Structure 1
Amino acid sequence: MADDLDWNAIIAPGNDAERRKTTSDRAATPDERGGAVDASGTQHVAGRPMSRREAREAEAARAREASATDSVAAGDTPVASTPDELHPEVHALLTGEVRVDDDARAGALGAARPAVPDEGRPDQGDHGSGGAGDDGRGGRGGRGGASRAPRGPREPRAKRRRGPLIAGIVIVAVVLGGGVSAYAFAAPKVQQLVSAISGSKEPDDYTGGGTSKVTITIKQGDIGEDVAKTLQRSGVVKDSKVFYKLLLASPDVQFQPGSYSLKKKMSSKSALAALQDKDNRVQASIVIPEGTALKDIEAGMVSKAGLSEAEVSAAAKDLSAYGLPSNVTTLEGWLFPATYPINPGWTATQYFKSMVDTMKEHLAAAGVAEADQEHVIVFASLVQKEAGLAADYPKVARVFQNRLDKGMKLQSDATVAYGTGNTHTVTTTDAERADASNRYNTYVHDGLPPAPISNPGDVAIQAVTHEASGNWLYFVTVNLETGETVFSDTYDQHLAAVKQFQAWLRAHPDYQ
Structure 2
Amino acid sequence: MRLVYRLCGVVLVAIIVTVAAFLYWWNRPIPLAEDYRFVVVEGATLSSISRELAGLGLIEYPVLLARAGRVLQVDRGIHAGHYLIEPGISPKGLMQLLASGDTLLSKLTIPEGLTARQIMDLIQSQAELEQSLTGIDDPRILSRFQSVGGVEGWLFPDTYRFTANTSDKDIIAIAHNRMQKELDRAWQRRSENTQLETPYEALIMASIIEKETSHAGERGEISGVFHRRLAQSMRLQTDPTVIYGIGEAFDGDITRAHLRDKGNIYNTYQYGGLPPTPIASPGRASLEAAVMPKEGTSLYFVADGRGGHVFSDTLAQHQQAVRAYLQKLRNN
TM-score bracket, normalised by the shorter chain, equals: 0.5 to 0.7
Report the 3-state secondary structure (helix = DSSP H, G, I; strand = E; otherwise coil) of the residue aligned with 2:281. coil
Shift of residue 375, structure 1, vs aligned partner = 1.1
Code of the residue aligned with 1:406 in structure 2: it is Q
Structure 2 unaligned runs (5+)?
1-38, 45-53, 58-79, 85-102, 191-196
Q: 1:382/1:259 Cα in 2 relative to 1: closer, same or farther (>3 Å)? A: farther
Shift of residue 220, structure 1, vs aligned partner = 4.5
Structure 1 unaligned runs (5+)?
1-217, 224-250, 261-280
Q: 1:418/1:253 Cα in 2 relative to 1: closer, same or farther (>3 Å)? A: farther
Shift of residue 369, structure 1, vs aligned partner = 8.4
**In structure 2, how many angstroms separate the alpha carbons of the residues matched to 1:300 and 1:259?**
24
* Number of corresponding residues: 237
Shift of residue 487, structure 1, vs aligned partner = 0.6
Partners of 1:219 and 1:346 within 8 A in 2? no
Match of 2:316 among 477, 487, 492: 492
**In structure 2, how many angstroms separate the alpha carbons of the residues matched to 1:435 and 1:364?**
35
Partners of 1:417 and 1:425 within 8 A in 2? no
> What residue in structure 2 maps to residue 364 of structure 1?
184
**In structure 1, how many angstroms separate the alpha carbons of the residues matched to 2:235 and 2:109?**
34
Partners of 2:115 and 2:279 within 8 A in 1? yes
Shift of residue 492, structure 1, vs aligned partner = 0.6
Identity %: 31
> What residue in structure 2 maps to residue 352 of structure 1?
172
Does 2:280 correspond to 1:441?
Answer: no
Query: Could you give the per-residue CA deviations for residues 19-50 of structure 1, whole angstroms, max 9, x where no partner exists?
Result: xxxxxxxxxxxxxxxxxxxxxxxxxxxxxxxx
> What residue in structure 2 maps to residue 319 of structure 1?
144
Does 2:158 correspond to 1:338?
Answer: yes
List structure 1 runs of 4+ shifted beyond 6 angstroms: 423-426
Q: 1:410/1:257 Cα in 2 relative to 1: closer, same or farther (>3 Å)? A: same
**In structure 2, how many angstroms separate the alpha carbons of the residues matched to 1:372 and 1:353?**
22
**In structure 2, how many angstroms separate the alpha carbons of the residues matched to 1:425 and 1:476?**
21
Partners of 2:213 and 2:308 within 8 A in 1? no
Q: 1:222/1:441 Cα in 2 relative to 1: closer, same or farther (>3 Å)? A: farther
**In structure 2, how many angstroms separate the alpha carbons of the residues matched to 1:436 and 1:219?**
55
Q: 1:375/1:219 Cα in 2 relative to 1: closer, same or farther (>3 Å)? A: farther
Does 2:286 correspond to 1:466?
Answer: no
> What residue in structure 1 maps to residue 9 of structure 2?
none
> What residue in structure 2 maps to residue 457 of structure 1?
283
Report the 3-state secondary structure (helix = DSSP H, G, I; strand = E; otherwise coil) of the residue aligned with 2:188. coil
Ranked by relative contact order (alpha carbons within 8 Å, sequence separation 6 or more), the top structure is: 2
Query: Could you give the per-residue CA deviations for residues 341-373 of structure 1, whole angstroms, max 9, x where no partner exists?
Result: 233222333211111111122223324389822
Report the 3-state secondary structure (helix = DSSP H, G, I; strand = E; otherwise coil) of the residue aligned with 2:160. strand
Partners of 1:410 and 1:446 within 8 A in 2? yes
CA-based RMSD: 3.4
Q: 1:312/1:485 Cα in 2 relative to 1: closer, same or farther (>3 Å)? A: closer
> What residue in structure 2 maps to residue 151 of structure 1?
none
Query: Could you give the per-residue CA deviations for residues 107-137 of structure 1, whole angstroms, max 9, x where no partner exists?
Result: xxxxxxxxxxxxxxxxxxxxxxxxxxxxxxx
Does 2:158 correspond to 1:301?
Answer: no
**In structure 1, how many angstroms separate the alpha carbons of the residues matched to 2:272 and 2:81?**
50
Partners of 2:81 and 2:104 within 8 A in 1? no
Q: 1:426/1:345 Cα in 2 relative to 1: closer, same or farther (>3 Å)? A: same
User: TM-score of the superposition, structure 2-length normalised?
Assistant: 0.63
